[in-house]
């Protein structure tokens, strides 16, 4: 059998930092520098290809918005928002006590709630998903319940939570938990049920104990599915937090939006919406990144 | 039945029940294999070759009769009957070394020290000439190399019988020849008892001491057995023109194409309950 050359694909060496270099390296410098320049140019082209289209689209959107809303009625135009909410945009970190804080603090409070609620639902969801995925009896017993409950909108849970827990803070956490747990359970269960029979057979031939099987085969094989569920779940929990804070009050970006609506500061709401969108996007990407790191190499070959 | 038989399959019958329907795959299979013997099992698709191997492995239950290995009836899978699967089935999240080490750690946890287990892992990788890729992931090596690692993992368990389920079926002809040579060399060195399923007549004649030819299913059994009377070590180029080789090859081809013809349904694939591909749900609340 012919083995492939081991040094086949060696990446181009990165640019060497300036400093005392041996003569050979100095001699080779011009050539290497030219190579780096072309690589840099290629990188710049790639980056501009990624950045330019969305930048153009955003600019066009702003122009369109400005044109449509310049009548003075209805939604404020981008320039109006800038003049109205300049303070809010430029100073996200002020804190005058109470709920009079910069947007950063509101968002941070919301993110903290999501972190707690989502962590809980991740742990419970993966555990339940493994149970439902590996036991046919558990699947038959629980799946109908899950399928019905997962369609209940987050806000419908809020009165139940308030009635059961009596307090706003745990109720908000519960709403996040209950909203984000369903995709985690369902995707984990699908992942566990889809473990290739070959891997199961390897475990059987080796006589792995249930715990060893769980650690060495089940978890790694289901990881891509688990992270699909976690990613959908974190998005849904962010949807739920904003909605539930609107009703609960206190600090938090959801309440901020509601508060500004009551004082007719629509410009501030638009600014808050941009924050909500960007944070939601970041959360999604964070979970996706974590999934890529954890499931590295788990792709079937 | 010879009482010295190491592995004996006695009046084996396998019937699959799927709800109200049942299909009899094997009926009355009798086969005895001596220690150190290399057996090839050949037959048309659907004749239950894989089923028979899976029963010996313990992965499928026996409906009738018994499989007895070294005086003990086979009831469950175990490392004394290591399997090399057709599609390698290495765990993709473990490196080549870790895949073999997993088996070594499991089988020799109490009998070998940590350093001994490391050495044993490396020894088996060396046996299949894969030490150079020990830190690679299965996705990074070729199909032939994956089968080598699968073989190393099976050998590392020191099985009483090595079960090869069409191990080279998915490989190109040159790679396959190369692996066949490796298997012959390893068999010569270690003297394992081997049971190999194959579709390839030349592979069967070259590697096996005896070739078991299965009749067509349903309810297949052993149609005939050809003894390959060639001395070992065998060399591909030399045996090619040997009268014994030609005779054995002819007997197998005669059996496959004159006495049995493919007529049954395609080989049934019996797996765990079909994994339902539920849609990944992504609705917003």
User: Collapsing DSSP states into helix, strand and coil, what is residue B30?
Assistant: strand
Q: Give residue A244's pLDDT band: very low, low, confident or very high (50, 70, 90).
A: confident
Q: Give the mean model confidence (pLDDT) for residues B13-28.
A: 86
Q: What is the predicted pLDDT for the residue at A298?
A: 52
Cβ neighbourhood burial of A229 (10 Å; 0-12, 13-18, 19+)? buried
Integer Cα distance of A104 and A155 in angstroms: 25
Question: Would the pLDDT of B75 be above 50?
Answer: yes
Chain A residues touching residue B282 (CB < 8 angstroms): 183, 232
Within-domain flag for B250? yes
Question: Would the pLDDT of B260 be above 80?
Answer: no
Q: What is the predicted pLDDT for the residue at A33?
A: 53
Instruction: Check if A12 contacts B (Cβ < 8 Å).
Output: no
* A220 closest CB neighbour out of B58, B93, B106: B93
pLDDT digits (tens, 9 = 90+) for B53-68: 999 999 999 999 999 9
CATH code assigned at B246: 3.40.50.300
Integer Cα distance of B115 and B121 in angstroms: 10
Residue B150: closest CA among chain A residues belongs to which residue?
A: A202
Chain B residues touching residue A206 (CB < 8 angstroms): 79, 102-103, 106-107, 157
Q: Whose CA is closest to A124, among A188, A75, A80, A167?
A: A188
Q: Give the mean model confidence (pLDDT) for residues A53-62.
A: 92
Integer Cα distance of A229 and A132 in angstroms: 14
Residue A236: closest CA among chain B residues belongs to which residue?
A: B284
Q: Whose CA is closest to B95, among B58, B60, B135, B67?
A: B135
Instruction: Check if A206 contacts B (Cβ < 8 Å).
Output: yes
Within-domain flag for B24? no
How many C-beta neighbours within 10 Å does residue A6 have? 9
Q: Whose CA is closest to B100, among B167, B157, B51, B46?
A: B157
User: What is the DSSP-derived secondary structure letter of residue B199?
Assistant: S
Between these two residues, A85 and B99, which has the higher pLDDT value?
B99
Within-domain flag for B69? no
pLDDT digits (tens, 9 = 90+) for B207-257: 999 999 998 878 888 888 999 988 888 888 888 889 999 999 999 998 888
Cα→Cα distances A18→A26, A35, B231, Å: 11, 16, 68
Question: Would the pLDDT of A114 be above 90?
Answer: yes
Cβ neighbourhood burial of A251 (10 Å; 0-12, 13-18, 19+)? middle
Q: What is the predicted pLDDT for the residue at B1?
A: 45
Q: What is the predicted pLDDT for the residue at A12?
A: 43
Chain B residues touching residue A295 (CB < 8 angstroms): 93
Residue A188: closest CA among chain B residues belongs to which residue?
A: B280
Which residues is B212 bridged to in the sheet?
A: B41, B225
User: Collapsing DSSP states into helix, strand and coil, what is residue B196?
Assistant: strand
Q: What is the predicted pLDDT for the residue at B9?
A: 92
Domain range enclosing B205: 38-57+75-284
Q: What is the predicted pLDDT for the residue at A19?
A: 42
Asked whether the beta carbons of residue A199 and residue B91 sit closer than 8 angstroms, the reply is yes
| Residue B222: both structure tokens together | 């052993």
Question: Would the pLDDT of B7 be above 90?
Answer: yes
Q: What is the predicted pLDDT for the residue at B146?
A: 93
What's the total number of domains in chain B? 1
Instruction: Check if A193 contacts B (Cβ < 8 Å).
Output: yes
Lowest average pLDDT, out of A245-259, B56-70, B95-109, goes to A245-259
Within-domain flag for B13? no
User: Collapsing DSSP states into helix, strand and coil, what is residue B161?
Assistant: strand
Average of per-residue pLDDT values in chain B: 86
pLDDT digits (tens, 9 = 90+) for A27-52: 444 455 556 778 888 888 888 888 89
* A217 closest CB neighbour out of B91, B272, B276: B91
ipTM entry: 0.83
Within-domain flag for B64? no
Q: Give residue A73's pLDDT band: very low, low, confident or very high (50, 70, 90).
A: low
HEC letters along chain A: CCCCCCCCCCCCCCCCCCCCCCHHHHHHHHHHHHHHHHHHHHHHHHHHHHHHHHHHHHHHHHHHHHHHCCCCCCCCCHHHHHHHHHHHHHCCCCECCCCCECHHHHHHHHHHHHHHHHHHHHHHHHHHHHHHHHCHHHHHHHHHHHHHHCCCCHHHHHHHHHHHHCCHHHHHHHHHHHHHHHHHHHHHHHHHHCCCHHHHHHHHHCCCCHHHHHHHHHHHHHHHHHHHHHHHHHHHHHHHHHHHHHHHCCCCHHHHHHHHHHCCCHHHHHHHHHHHHHHHHHHHHHHHHHHHHHCCCCCCC
Q: What is the predicted pLDDT for the residue at B280?
A: 37
Residue A220: closest CA among chain B residues belongs to which residue?
A: B93
Q: What is the predicted pLDDT for the residue at B44?
A: 86
CA distance B282 to chain A (A): 6
Q: What is the predicted pLDDT for the residue at B18?
A: 80
pLDDT digits (tens, 9 = 90+) for A135-155: 999 999 999 999 999 999 888
Q: Give residue A212's pLDDT band: very low, low, confident or very high (50, 70, 90).
A: very high
Q: Give the mean model confidence (pLDDT) for residues B262-275.
A: 46
Lowest average pLDDT, out of A26-30, A45-49, A54-58, B166-170, goes to A26-30
CA distance B257 to chain A (A): 32
> Any idea which residue has 């020799």 for tokens?
B108
Integer Cα distance of B143 and B147 in angstroms: 6
Question: Would the pLDDT of A156 be above 80?
Answer: yes
A-to-B residue pairs, Cβ atoms closer than 8 angstroms:
108
Q: What is the predicted pLDDT for the residue at A84?
A: 84
Q: Give residue B268's pLDDT band: very low, low, confident or very high (50, 70, 90).
A: very low
Residue A147: closest CA among chain B residues belongs to which residue?
A: B281
* A216 closest CB neighbour out of B76, B102, B281: B102
pLDDT digits (tens, 9 = 90+) for A171-185: 889 999 999 999 999
Query: Are A130 and A188 contacting, i.e. CB atoms less than 8 angstroms apart?
Result: yes
Q: Give residue B261's pLDDT band: very low, low, confident or very high (50, 70, 90).
A: low
Between these two residues, A163 and A40, which has the higher pLDDT value?
A163
Percent above pLDDT 90 for chain A: 46
Q: What is the predicted pLDDT for the residue at A72?
A: 62
Question: Would the pLDDT of A4 be above 50?
Answer: no
Question: Would the pLDDT of A297 be above 60?
Answer: no
Q: Give residue B277's pLDDT band: very low, low, confident or very high (50, 70, 90).
A: very low
Asked whether the beta carbons of residue B145 and residue A1 sit closer than 8 angstroms, the reply is yes
Within-domain flag for B113? yes
Touching B: A residues 210-269, CB under 8 Å: 212, 216-217, 220-221, 225, 228-229, 232, 235-236, 239-240
Q: Which domains does chain A have, with CATH numbers?
A: 98-300 (1.10.3720.10)
Q: Which of B56, B58, B93 to mutate: most A Cβ within 10 Å? A: B93
Average of per-residue pLDDT values in chain A: 83
Within-domain flag for B207? yes
Asked whether the beta carbons of residue B273 and residue A136 sit closer than 8 angstroms, the reply is yes
Chain B residues touching residue A237 (CB < 8 angstroms): none
Integer Cα distance of B241 and B247 in angstroms: 10
Q: Whose CA is closest to B40, among B163, B182, B151, B196?
A: B196
CA distance B11 to chain A (A): 24
- For chain B, the residues whose C-beta falls within 8 A of a C-beta of chain A are 57-59, 76-79, 81-83, 85, 87, 89-93, 102-103, 106-107, 132, 137-139, 142, 144-146, 157, 175, 178-179, 271-273, 275-278, 280-282, 284-285
Main-chain phi, psi angles of A94, to 5 degrees: -70, 155
Within-domain flag for B223? yes
* B285 closest CB neighbour out of A4, A154, A297: A154
| Residue B197: both structure tokens together | 């399923």
Percent above pLDDT 70 for chain B: 90
CA distance B79 to chain A (A): 5
């Amino acid at each position: 059998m012919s083995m492939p050359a081991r040094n086949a694909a060696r990446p181009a060496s990165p640019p060497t930092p300036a400093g005392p270099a041996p003569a050979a390296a100095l001699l080779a410098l011009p050539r290497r520098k030219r190579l780096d320049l072309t690589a840099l140019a290629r990188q710049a082209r790639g980056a501009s290809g990624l950045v330019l289209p969305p930048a153009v689209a955003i600019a066009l959107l702003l122009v369109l918005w400005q044109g449509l809303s310049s009548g003075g009625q209805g939604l404020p135009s981008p320039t109006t928002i800038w003049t109205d909410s300049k303070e809010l945009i430029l100073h996200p970190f002020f804190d005058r006590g109470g709920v009079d804080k910069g947007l950063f603090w509101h968002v941070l409070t919301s993110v903290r709630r999501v972190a707690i609620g989502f962590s809980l639902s991740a742990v419970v969801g993966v555990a339940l998903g493994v149970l439902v995925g590996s036991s046919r009896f558990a699947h038959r017993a629980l799946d109908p319940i899950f399928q019905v409950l997962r369609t209940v909108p987050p806000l419908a849970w809020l009165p139940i939570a308030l009635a059961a827990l009596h307090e706003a803070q745990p109720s908000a956490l519960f709403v996040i938990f209950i909203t984000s747990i369903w995709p985690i359970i369902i995707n984990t269960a699908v992942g566990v049920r889809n473990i290739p029979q070959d891997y199961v057979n390897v475990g059987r031939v080796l006589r792995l104990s249930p715990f060893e099987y769980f650690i060495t085969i089940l978890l790694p094989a289901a990881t891509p599915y688990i992270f699909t569920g976690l990613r959908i779940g974190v998005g849904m929990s962010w949807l739920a937090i904003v909605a539930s804070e609107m009703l609960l009050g206190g600090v938090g970006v959801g309440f901020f939006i509601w508060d500004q609506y009551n004082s007719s500061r629509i410009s501030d709401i638009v600014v808050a919406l941009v924050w909500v969108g960007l944070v939601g996007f970041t959360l999604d990407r964070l979970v996706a990144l974590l999934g890529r790191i954890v499931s590295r190499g788990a792709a079937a070959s | 039945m010879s009482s010295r038989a190491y592995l004996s399959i006695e009046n084996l019958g396998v019937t699959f029940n799927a709800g109200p329907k049942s299909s009899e795959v094997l009926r009355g299979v009798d086969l005895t294999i001596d220690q150190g013997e290399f057996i090839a099992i050949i037959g048309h698709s659907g004749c239950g070759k894989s089923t028979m191997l899976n029963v010996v492995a313990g992965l499928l239950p026996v409906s009738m009769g018994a499989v007895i290995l070294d005086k003990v009836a086979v009831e469950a899978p175990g490392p004394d009957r290591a399997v090399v699967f057709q599609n390698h089935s290495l765990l993709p999240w473990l490196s080549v070394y870790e895949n073999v080490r997993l088996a070594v750690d499991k089988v020799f946890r109490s009998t070998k020290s940590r350093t001994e287990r490391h050495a044993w892992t490396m020894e088996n990788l060396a046996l299949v000439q894969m030490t150079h890729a020990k830190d690679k992931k299965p996705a990074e090596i070729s199909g032939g190399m994956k089968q080598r690692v699968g073989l190393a993992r099976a050998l590392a368990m020191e099985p009483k019988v090595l079960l090869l389920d069409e191990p080279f079926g998915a490989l190109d002809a040159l790679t396959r020849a190369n692996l066949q040579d490796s298997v012959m060399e390893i068999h010569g060195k270690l003297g394992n008892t081997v049971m190999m399923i194959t579709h390839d007549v030349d592979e069967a004649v070259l590697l096996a001491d005896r070739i078991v030819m299965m009749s067509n299913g349903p309810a297949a059994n052993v149609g005939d057995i050809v003894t390959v009377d060639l001395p070992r070590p065998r060399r591909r180029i030399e045996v090619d023109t040997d009268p014994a080789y030609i005779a054995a090859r002819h007997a197998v081809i005669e059996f496959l194409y004159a006495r049995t013809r493919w007529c049954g349904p395609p080989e049934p694939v019996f797996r765990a309950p079909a994994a339902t591909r539920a849609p990944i749900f992504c609705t917003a609340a």
